[in-house]
Amino acid sequence: MLKDLRTLFEPKSIAIIGASSKPGKPGHEVIRNILANGYEGQLHLVNPKGGTILGMNAYSSIGELPEGVDVAVIILPAQDTATAIRACVDHGIKSYVLAAGGFSEVDEKGEALQDEIVSIIESTGIRVLGPNTSGHTSTPAKFTSSFFPLGELPKGSVSYIAQTGNFATHTMRHIMTHENFGVCRVVGLGNKLDVDEADALAYLADDDETSAIVMYLESVKNPQKFMAVADGATRKKPVIMLKSGRSEKGSKAAVAHTAAMASNDKIVDGMLKQVGVTRIYRYSHLITAGKVLSHMPLPKGNRVSFLAPSGAMLVSLTDVCENDLGLEVPEIEESSRQKLQDMSPDYIRMRNPVDIWPAASVQGIERAYGRAMEIVLEDPNIDAVVPILMLLEGMEIPSMQFIVDIARKYPEKPVYVSFTGDKKPEEEAKAFLEANGVPTFPMIEDPFEALEIMARCRKAMTRSDT
């Protein structure tokens, strides 16, 4: 049976059990995060010493809390968590985030503590996220239960489900400081005593604020339940998953991390394909997927054109596309090819991929790249375009607005950008382009890897039942 998670993601009142006045403590940082995100509901703090914390009065016990608290975020040691839950249940609280580690992922004593919490869940019907979770985020509700120092989180349309604490912590900091996209909801599953990946996926599949879902899992708690949910979710939205524990040692590491029992990888692979989940195999692609899904539509197919300032790039990237990634670098229509030829010096025979530098050296980067991009974007044989820009300090570097304008002119075909040259103009171009909805990639192979993932998403979403 699926669990209703609306209260967890849209709470009108929150209690922090284990609030702390000491900076750096989890019970302090979670309050700072909530305040930084502008949470508009009621925030209640519980600390045995009472007093004030960050200018707010703290209750000395759970029993002193007002009625009607939606969510209790419990940041106490594992051995004290069950007692706190019971007190909260007696106070009518029905949804919980359990931050503590030290349960079944550690030893038999921790397993006994975990069993005690399971017994409470089964007897009361409360909703529990965790334990051993770094929390969850809901930017539409201006709220996070994460205790990692994050500050204000950028709002976006892509949601994440992660069976790891680091996604909501240092990986989120990486996204906030290195990338130019935000998040919608983030679910840190932890040990999945109650809320599991299927519950989270079902909620996000029906969430109007979520446009796409990216997942990291070490295990699937209930495969039959998950498959039923995923089969419907993947027909509505892109669903991408990194399922780790593929190797024998990786599987053992998963057990040590979250007490996850990783399944046979071939079975998992077949299961994901059957229900339309697009599988990825690199942790960094969790970020890559979020970026391109935030900025660009899915391609309608796997046919790509790219523009490069080097013959070696044209050859090597064609090999990468055709041999390694399953992308096509097709012939374009003769009318398109002739238009490219007309804008180029006679000594270059134009085709797809596009050897752009001879034209750029005569006409300038903006005019040559801009015209060539429009030609291939208009070609019916092309689903996506990747311009690779050579940017060098000391040479004339155009405004990147022309790429933004072209991408907006052809909204059904994604445009991904990569660079070669000097670091400073590349960083400036990245900042401008991504702020205006065009994803960029530092290494020239990266946009093609991203495109391959997105092409598989499109194929999965449009699959037939036969």
Where are the chain's structural domains? 1-132, 154-295, 298-445+453-461
CATH superfamily of 298-445+453-461: Succinyl-CoA synthetase domains (3.40.50.261)
Q: How far apart are CA 129 and CA 5, in angstroms?
A: 10
Contact, 238 vs 461, CB < 8 A?
A: yes
Summary count for the chain: helices (H), strands (E)? 17, 19
Fold of the CATH domain 154-295: Rossmann fold (3.40.50)
Q: How far apart are CA 96 and CA 70, in angstroms?
A: 9
CA distances in angstroms from 438 to 132, 235, 286, 339, 423, listed in the order given: 37, 25, 18, 25, 18
Pairing relationship of beta strands 56-59 and 52-53 according to DSSP bridges = antiparallel
**Nearest partner of 65 among 44, 42, 92, judged by Cα:** 44
Fold of the CATH domain 1-132: Rossmann fold (3.40.50)
Q: How far apart are CA 119 and CA 86, in angstroms?
A: 11
Q: In what order do the strands lie in the sheet with 185-188?
A: 143-144, 136-138, 185-188, 158-162, 212-217, 239-243, 278-280
pLDDT by residue for the chain (466 residues), tens digit each? 788 999 999 999 999 999 999 999 999 999 999 999 999 999 999 999 999 999 999 999 999 999 999 999 999 999 999 999 999 999 999 999 999 988 878 888 889 999 999 999 999 999 999 999 999 999 999 999 999 999 999 999 999 999 988 898 999 999 999 999 999 999 999 999 999 999 999 999 999 999 999 999 999 999 999 999 999 999 999 999 999 876 666 555 544 444 444 467 888 889 999 999 999 999 999 999 999 999 999 999 999 999 999 999 999 999 999 999 999 999 999 999 999 999 999 999 999 999 999 999 999 999 999 999 999 999 999 999 999 999 999 888 889 999 999 999 999 999 999 999 999 999 999 999 999 999 999 999 999 999 999 999 999 999 987 5
Are the folds of 154-295 and 298-445+453-461 the same? yes
Phi, psi of 185 (to 5 degrees): -120, 145
pTM: 0.94
